[in-house]
Amino acid sequence: MNRLKEVFLKKQGNLLNVYFTAGYPTLNSTRPLLDALQHAGADMIEIGMPFSDPLADGPIIQASSTRALNNGMTIALLFEQLAGMREHIQLPVLLMGYLNPVMQYGIERFCADCEKVGIDGLILPDLPLDEYEREFKTLFEKHHLAAVFLVTPQTPEARIRKIDELSTAFIYLVSSASTTGTKDAAQSQTQAYLQRVASMGLKSPTMVGFGIKDKAGFELACRYTQGAIVGSAFIEALDGAQEKDFPALCKSFVARFKSPVSAT
């Protein structure tokens, strides 16, 4: 959690959080991608735990999850791959997934293993807020895990303020009421929504996800929030890549969002 707080304090804005699915494009891609993204200049990394029935994922991330599961990826294997990660990775790292496989793994065992490998936070979109507060908050805190909750354009203000009260990292602003990778975030309704949340004076940093595909979408998000989460676009970029391609691919990908605008 300190790594998450530090990155928001140090950089203040224009933070790029890159998502990839564990076990994609190959079973052992996790550690090489972490290394490549850190060297490329990403500010934080979100690792998806593949699940057969995701609620919020669009077709691109769904397909990557299917490939990862077919490759043999499991939560237990992911923790094996992440062992020793903190010897080399200084960036905040979060896990994103769904409650069913986490509960199957065992929630206490899962949180303990997250702490052991150095995970900073968890994004579980189907974890009810009241259930988190009643049953999981103490467990998360015990293992130094920040809980990240999602807000959509339809989320009532009272719920946003409750999420803000419970958040210890950042609030994940879903750019639209669709699944990942299916909308362009640079739309007038998205801008109005981001302005509305920004005007609420929340204590927690915010980041925008779903539909951030290019520099225009990233810059729009950063105008009203501390940064953006890019997932489907990176999964597309990884399609067909091999481990030897990762350093150059990640450098080029991060530069799409964070490079200076060229003079014309």
Cβ-contact 106, 76 below 8 angstroms: no
Does domain 2-255 bear CATH number 3.20.20.70? yes
Whole-number Cα distances in Å, 175 to 3, 64, 94, 230: 25, 21, 20, 12
Confidence at residue 180, expressed as pLDDT on a 0 to 100 scale = 46
Which are the contacts of 234, defined by CB distance < 8 A and separation ≥ 6?
18, 19, 20, 253
| Closest to 30 (Cα-Cα) out of 19, 21, 41 | 21
* Percentage of the chain modeled with pLDDT above 90: 81
Cβ-contact 37, 250 below 8 angstroms: yes
List residues with catalytic annotation: 46, 57
* Percentage of the chain modeled with pLDDT above 70: 91
Q: Where are the domains of the chain?
A: 2-255
Question: How many Å apart are CA 47 and CA 164, to the nearest integer?
Answer: 23
**pLDDT, tens digit, for every residue of 171-226?**
999 987 544 444 444 467 888 999 999 999 999 999 999 889 999 999 999 999 99
Residue 135: HSE in the Cβ half-sphere, 13 Å Cα cutoff: 8
Cβ-contact 12, 63 below 8 angstroms: no
What's the pLDDT band for 263 if we cut at 50, 70, 90? very low
The mean per-residue pLDDT over the stretch 115-140 comes to: 96
